[in-house]
Amino acid sequence: MALRVTVWNEARHEKTNPAVQKVYPNGMHTVIAQALTEQGFDTRTATLDEPEHGLTEDVLASTDVLIWWGHMAHGDVQDAIVDRVHKRVLEGMGLVVLHSGHFSRIFKKLMGTSCDLKWREADDNERIWVVNPTHPIAEGLGECIELEYEEMYGEHFDIPAPDSLVFVSWFKGGEVFRSGCCYERGRGKIFYFRPGHETYPTYYNKEVQKVIGNAVKWTGAPAGVNLTYGNRKPIQKSG
C-alpha cells in the first residue's frame, strides 16, 4: 500500500505576497504534493486556515508521514494541534520539517532547543553536499545538489546533534549549515531539510523533490515493535 502523506503548509505568504504568488500561485503545498503523487505516494494537503488547521484526529490517524512548511504564523498554530501531532510522531508517524519550519512549535517541542540559526536573503547560491552516501535519503542523488538562488541559513544551528546527518550546505557568502538532519523520537522518525524559501522555485527542483520523496520513505517506514509502559509484575517467577 502506498504511504499516506499529508503536506501541511501555513500558506499565508502565498495569500499576501505577490512575489510568492508568482512562484507558487496555488501554494507551495500543491507543488510538493504533486511531486509526491508523481512518485507514487497517496498524497493530500492541509493548511493553517482550515478548521483544526486541517489536522483533525481522523486526518492524522490516516497519515503515515506529515510534511510541515511554516514561517510567518508559527504562533497561530494551536496548542491542541501541536500536542496532537507530537503524540502521533511518538506513536510512529513520520515528520518531514522543511526550511523555516525549524522555528515551528512542533519542531522546537520535539528538539527541546531554540532551533535558532543565522540567515540572509541575498540570492546566495547553495550547494547541498551529501555527507552520508549510504543513507536512504541520499538514494539516487549525485554528490551535491546545486541551487542557483536560495536564502542563506548558517551555523550555529541550535539543534541536538542529529542521530544521522545526511546533508551539509555551503553558501556563496561563506557559511555552512547542517541541512539534512535525522532524528528518532519514540517510534517516530523526523527529517529536517533546509531549502525552500518562499520566493525561490526550490520545490520545483527535481533533486529537491527526490530528497523529499526519499524522506517520506525513510520516515514512513514501519518502526519496530509496539511499546508499552508502566508498572509491571515480574515476567519470570523466582525460585
CB of 134 to Zn ion, least distance (A): 30
Residues β-bridged to residue 169: 128, 177
Q: Can residue 104 be called a binding residue for Zn ion (CB under 5 A)?
A: no
* Of positions 151, 183, 190, 210, contacts Zn ion by CB under 5 A: 151
Pick the piece of the chain touching Zn ion (CB under 5 A) from 84-92, 137-145, 149-157, 231-239: 149-157
Please, what is the minimum distance in Å from the beta carbon of residue 139 to Zn ion?
A: 27
Q: Is 84 in the site for Zn ion (CB under 5 A)?
A: no
Is residue 9 involved in binding Zn ion (CB under 5 A)?
no
Q: What is the CA radius of gyration of the chain?
A: 18
Which of the ranges 58-66, 126-134, 178-186, 189-197 carries the binding residues for Zn ion, by CB under 5 A? 189-197
Binding status of residue 100 toward Zn ion by CB under 5 A: yes
Residue type, 2: A
Which CA distances in Å does 182 have to 106, 109, 136, 187, 207?
15, 15, 11, 13, 18
Contact characters 38-77, Zn ion, x per CB under 5 A: ----------------------------------------
Contact 36, 212 (CB under 8 A): yes
Q: CB nearest Zn ion: which residue?
A: 197
Smallest gap, in angstroms, from Cβ of residue 59 to Zn ion? 26
What is the spatial distance between Cα 170 and Cα 179, in angstroms, rounded to a whole number?
9
How many residues of this chain bind Zn ion (CB under 5 A)?
3
| Main-chain phi, psi angles of 195, to 5 degrees | -70, 160
Q: What is the DSSP letter of 225?
A: P
Q: Could you say whether residue 197 binds Zn ion (CB under 5 A)? A: yes
φ, ψ of residue 22 to 5 degrees: the values are: -65, -40
Nearer to Zn ion, 195 or 213 (CB): 195
Per-residue CA distances from 139 to 48, 108, 148 (Å): 32, 28, 22
Q: Provide the binding-site residues for Zn ion, judged by CB under 5 A.
A: 100, 151, 197
